[in-house]
Structure 1
């Protein structure tokens, strides 16, 4: 770590700018005294830095206390506020069969959300790149914004992603089809671009605004058709050398799980098997469905409503979830497992069964298991948070704001 006494004037100035902007980004209306109390700079430096951030377009000066009706006596203090509309971010869920783009301001307030359904079998690189560009442009159009107003963009993909936004080779190149160099695609016009694993972004969302707020050790499971895991340990998101930390192909080798199929897929598969075998009871609503009508959401909704056969299926899936949670709990000593994604809304019966079986699966204290409340768009929510983090780190270096200094 560099000693403060050895910092150059330019470095000291940048440190002051970062500190004041960081305070302002999270504050409501404030005065120079508020900044001094929080950041610890001298009054002259504080006022100078605030004026520079106003000139750069990141802060605005508000009417003073007298004009705001809050003046009592003495000289009214100057008041300032962060400008959340100084730029915008885009978070993209680059799923195999559905793309979602969310546009938000610099406080994370949504301006627009757009979805685009894809044929999962039409996953050639050029098709996915064109579709991703289209859904982003549609979201920007709905928000009445241009590409030039975007400061940072983040894409989540169902593949491992390294620190450079690149996915490693795969046996049938699936990972690189899911991530056909999105960083280069959006880097043609977006100043800051991140590409991340989708389950990792789900974990980012849960820790920022979901069930894992305040947790430093937890696992987020995307658990619809396939399992994906985002893992936090000691307050840090795990990535690995190639972005493959907690890659769920490992469950191919775990007895009682035997693959990375998600909870929704498993519930639907068990229900279809029972229907084909004629083993469903006469009272089960599942008997009245065609195999093509059965999906995980339907099975879990019937389980929650008390359908005995659906409840038995949910309990069986819950036993599998207990093994999955036990593996993660043993490997990472997690305090919490969050079942996330669209399947979370109906996961109550599965989680209840998993909690009953979990103590037998590990020697460490059993983690909590809870359902996410962030819904099917959780990956794009996490992508927005990651884009905001990137914008906060890099905004002072962007030409739009440097030029105005």
Structure 2
């Protein structure tokens, strides 16, 4: 177990080098492995979760050659691995792979995970896959064994909204000509749909969702992935709460279903600007800059939460420094992340002298201009809780330390280097 401490620092300034989006990296690897031919991916995330997907694909006989932030994937037929696939802490690896393998007749695999992932629910993914004809054993959690089978279609209502469930069903649907329709009253992340189009798949827009068209074969090619907005959240929120700060990130993914945090920060009064917007491999990217400015409290209704679900810990820190009551509604999904993330946010803020509480599924944070800090935070092995509490420590009166700092590599292995390069005091 590795601890890390953040101490009050002066302004942070400069360009933060953020690697490629984690969600897009998983999908690029899996779709490249399912396509015929070679796919070249630039800007691939270097995080541990994406490493789990690479290792899993290699166990299925897929050739993955990585050179820095670029990667070549030789797609084609998969084989049954010789041993269970360890997904580590990566729910995306486990869920998307279950969907991909479900329609591969003759392929069989068992998926396991670490202690945290083995507690996370899989039923809401497995049940619709079984409705399609998938052969998956087990109950609610990992380990799960899937035997590739001939699949039928599905007309599925994705409630509550889950990009991982939707993505797994779409991946499974590539193996069948049967109708695949997914309704979404509240849209979830659409990286899979965007990338499927880049691979040549027909996707049809319907009244409340999407459907797979007749063209379902994957065409190999070349992709470039924008910087990860979830990792970027921590240096940019730090810039927002540290007087005199000015931080920018080039080529960040600006998908409308990922920019919820940045929209709220702007509404709170943060000095946020976006330049050079463009389309790269189907996704909107741009250069994002945040300068310090006094923050006002926010009220985030539940329908806006899916566009910032992974950034809620960072937003909670911003709210802690906004003088007054902030309310973020509809956060039940946070109870089922790497930890009970909602409970961990409240515990961390409370330990640092910030009044925070949960009423039903709504988070109430009573912010103030000066935060005490001075706490040792038990992160429950959650990488985003660790980075959020360290961000708070950079602006609080007393240092804040976290345990299990090694878990930060799950999503942001360069975190310490990036933050120190901007001037943050981390030891």
Q: Flag whether TM exceeds 0.5 (same fold).
A: no
Larger Rg: 1
Higher helix proportion, which one? 1
TM-score by length of 2: 0.26
Compare relative contact order (CA 8 Å, sep 6+) and give the higher one, 1 or 2. Answer: 2
Higher strand proportion, which one? 2
TM-score by length of 1: 0.27
